[in-house]
Amino acid sequence: MARKVINRRVRYETELAVQKKEGHAFFPYAMFHDVVVNLIVVLIIVGMAVVWHETAEPISKLHPLGGNGWLGALYEDKANPAVAQTEPRPEWYFLFLFELLRVFKQPWQLLFATIIIPTILMVLLVAWPFLDTGRDRRLSRRPAGVALGLATPAVLIALTIAGSSAPGVVSGTAITGKPAFDSTKAALYISQAGCTGCHNFGAGGGNNGANLASGSTMFGTDQKAIEAWIGGGAAKSVSMPDFSSLGPDKISAIAALVVGLKTGTPPSQ
C-alpha cells in the first residue's frame, strides 16, 4: 500500500515538473479562454432577448394577454387591483426554502428553516475541502465525501420539486361565505378575474354591478345565457368588460357557480 502511494506521488511530481516546463501560464491563456466563454454566454442571452422581443406580440384586442412568440409572450396579463386575494410564490431557485417553510410550520421552527439549515449547508460546502484531506482521488476511497456531495443536491432537488407542486393555501376563495361554493375552482376564477370588485357574491364585494349573492336575477338558471353575457354580451350593453379571454372552460365554471347560487346547489367544478 505504501509503495502504491509513493509511486503515485512520484508520477504526480514528474507530471507537475513537465507541466511547469512545457505548459501555459494562467495569464493570458486561461484568462483569454474565460473571456471568450463569457462573451459567448452574453451573446446567447442577448440573442434570446432579441428573438423573444421580435417574435412575440404585445397586448391588443385580439391578444389581451399578449401573443406567444418562440420564447413566450411579450407581456403578461396586467395587474388587476380588484383581486383581493393572491398566492405569491418564489422563483424556482428559492422553492427549496419555500418547501422548508411548509415543513417547519410552528413559528419557533422558522428559524431552522430560514437561517440555521441553509447556513449549515453553506458552512459544510466551504469547509469540506479542509475536512476531507485524503490524498486518494478515487471516488470509491472517499465514501463520506461522495455521500455528502450526492446527498446535498438530491435533497435540494427534492425540496424544489415538492415546493413547485405544493398545493395553495386555499383551493378557492371566500367570495360567497359558503364553503361548498368557495372551495370550487370557479370561486378562484372569479377572484382572479376581479369580479368581486363590482359584484357581491354573498361575502361582500362591490356594488357597481348586479348583486349575485342569490344568483342572477336577469338570467335565472339559464347557464348558456350567463356564459354569453360573460363572454362579451355584457360589454355590448353595459360597462362590464369582455371576459372572453378567460376561455370557455373558466367561463362555464363561473356561470355554473352563479346558477348554483340561484338554486342553492354548489357546482361540481
Q: In this structure, what C-alpha cell is assigned to residue 52?
A: 423573444
Q: In this structure, what C-alpha cell is assigned to residue 196?
A: 368581486
Range among 29-38, 52-61, 114-123, 228-237 with highest mean pLDDT value:
29-38
What pLDDT sits at residue 192?
78
Report the chain's mean pLDDT, rounded to a whole number: 80
Residue 50 CA to residue 74 CA, distance in Å, equals 11
What pLDDT sits at residue 38?
96
What pLDDT sits at residue 136?
73
Q: Sign (positive/negative) of CA torsion 130, 133, 139, 142?
A: negative
3-state SS assignment for residue 18: helix
149 to 119, 132, 140, 145: CA distances (angstroms): 16, 12, 13, 6
Q: What is the DSSP letter of 77?
A: P
| Average confidence (pLDDT) over 111-122 | 82
What pLDDT sits at residue 84?
52
% of the chain residues with pLDDT over 70: 84
Which of 257, 241, 260 has the alpha carbon at shortest distance from 193? Answer: 241
| Average confidence (pLDDT) over 158-182 | 74
Q: What is the pTM of this model?
A: 0.43
| Average confidence (pLDDT) over 158-168 | 78
| Average confidence (pLDDT) over 89-112 | 80
Between residues 178 and 40, the one the model is more confident about: 40
209-234 burial, b at 16+ Cβ within 10 Å, e below that, comes to bbebbebbeebeeebeebbebbbebb
Helical H runs in the chain?
2-22, 31-55, 95-103, 110-111, 117-131, 143-164, 179-182, 185-193, 223-228, 234-237, 248-263
Burial (CB count <10 Å: 0-12, 13-18, 19+), residue 112: middle
Between residues 32 and 191, the one the model is more confident about: 32
| Average confidence (pLDDT) over 117-125 | 84
| Average confidence (pLDDT) over 63-70 | 66
